[in-house]
Amino acid sequence: MNTFTLRQIPLPVEKKLRKLSNESHKSLNKTALELLARAVGEEPEGKKTSKYRDVKSILLPWTDKEYEEFQNNTALFGSIDKDLWRK
Protein backbone atom coordinates (compact mmCIF):
# COMPACT_ATOMS: atom_id res chain seq x y z
CA MET A 1 0.00 0.00 0.00
CA ASN A 2 1.13 3.50 -0.76
CA THR A 3 1.40 6.30 1.75
CA PHE A 4 0.89 10.00 1.20
CA THR A 5 0.42 13.13 3.28
CA LEU A 6 -2.49 15.54 3.14
CA ARG A 7 -1.71 19.15 3.93
CA GLN A 8 -3.84 22.19 4.67
CA ILE A 9 -6.94 20.24 5.60
CA PRO A 10 -9.67 22.83 6.25
CA LEU A 11 -10.60 23.05 9.94
CA PRO A 12 -14.29 22.12 9.39
CA VAL A 13 -13.19 19.00 7.49
CA GLU A 14 -10.74 18.05 10.24
CA LYS A 15 -13.39 18.54 12.94
CA LYS A 16 -15.94 16.43 11.05
CA LEU A 17 -13.36 13.71 10.40
CA ARG A 18 -12.39 13.60 14.09
CA LYS A 19 -16.06 13.52 15.11
CA LEU A 20 -16.77 10.61 12.76
CA SER A 21 -13.67 8.84 14.01
CA ASN A 22 -14.72 9.21 17.64
CA GLU A 23 -18.32 8.19 16.98
CA SER A 24 -17.29 5.04 15.12
CA HIS A 25 -14.55 4.18 17.64
CA LYS A 26 -12.04 3.92 14.80
CA SER A 27 -8.68 5.55 14.28
CA LEU A 28 -8.50 8.80 12.38
CA ASN A 29 -6.49 7.04 9.67
CA LYS A 30 -9.00 4.19 9.27
CA THR A 31 -11.91 6.65 9.14
CA ALA A 32 -10.15 8.77 6.49
CA LEU A 33 -9.31 5.68 4.40
CA GLU A 34 -12.91 4.45 4.52
CA LEU A 35 -14.25 7.86 3.48
CA LEU A 36 -11.72 8.15 0.65
CA ALA A 37 -12.62 4.68 -0.60
CA ARG A 38 -16.34 5.52 -0.63
CA ALA A 39 -15.68 8.89 -2.29
CA VAL A 40 -14.08 7.18 -5.29
CA GLY A 41 -16.72 4.47 -5.47
CA GLU A 42 -14.81 1.65 -3.78
CA GLU A 43 -15.74 -0.43 -0.77
CA PRO A 44 -13.39 0.10 2.17
CA GLU A 45 -10.88 -2.72 2.40
CA GLY A 46 -12.22 -5.65 4.38
CA LYS A 47 -15.77 -4.39 3.97
CA LYS A 48 -16.72 -6.03 0.65
CA THR A 49 -20.39 -6.96 0.67
CA SER A 50 -22.93 -7.82 -1.93
CA LYS A 51 -24.57 -4.70 -3.31
CA TYR A 52 -27.93 -6.39 -2.85
CA ARG A 53 -27.43 -7.10 0.83
CA ASP A 54 -25.65 -3.89 1.81
CA VAL A 55 -28.14 -1.35 3.17
CA LYS A 56 -25.56 1.19 4.35
CA SER A 57 -26.04 3.24 1.21
CA ILE A 58 -29.67 3.93 2.18
CA LEU A 59 -29.05 4.29 5.91
CA LEU A 60 -25.83 6.28 6.09
CA PRO A 61 -24.84 9.02 6.15
CA TRP A 62 -27.79 11.06 7.31
CA THR A 63 -27.71 14.80 7.14
CA ASP A 64 -28.34 16.68 10.37
CA LYS A 65 -31.76 17.63 9.02
CA GLU A 66 -32.66 14.01 8.21
CA TYR A 67 -31.48 12.86 11.64
CA GLU A 68 -33.52 15.54 13.39
CA GLU A 69 -36.58 14.66 11.31
CA PHE A 70 -36.16 10.98 12.17
CA GLN A 71 -35.81 11.78 15.87
CA ASN A 72 -38.93 13.95 15.79
CA ASN A 73 -40.95 11.34 13.89
CA THR A 74 -39.95 8.47 16.19
CA ALA A 75 -40.00 10.29 19.54
CA LEU A 76 -43.45 8.86 20.23
CA PHE A 77 -42.00 5.34 20.25
CA GLY A 78 -39.98 6.19 23.35
CA SER A 79 -43.03 6.88 25.47
CA ILE A 80 -45.28 4.37 27.18
CA ASP A 81 -49.04 4.65 26.93
CA LYS A 82 -49.97 3.74 30.50
CA ASP A 83 -53.62 3.17 29.56
CA LEU A 84 -52.57 0.35 27.20
CA TRP A 85 -50.63 -1.40 29.94
CA ARG A 86 -53.17 -1.25 32.75
CA LYS A 87 -54.62 -4.52 33.93
The confidence score (pLDDT) of residue 12 equals 93
Q: Would you say residue 65 lies in a domain? A: yes
How many other C-beta atoms can be found within 10 angstroms of the C-beta atom of residue 43?
Answer: 14
pLDDT at site 64 = 84
Q: Tell whether 87 is covered by a domain.
A: no
Looking at the domain assignment, is residue 58 inside a domain?
A: yes
pLDDT at 55 over 70: no
Q: Evaluate if pTM is beyond 0.75.
A: no
Residue 70 forms part of a structural domain: yes
Note the pLDDT tens digit of each residue in 6-46. Answer: 899 999 999 999 999 999 989 999 999 999 988 888 877 76
Q: Is 33 within a domain?
A: yes
Domain count, the chain: 1
Mean pLDDT of the chain: 82
Quote the domain boundaries for residue 58.
11-78
- Specify whether the CB–CB gap between 24 and 33 falls below 8 A: no
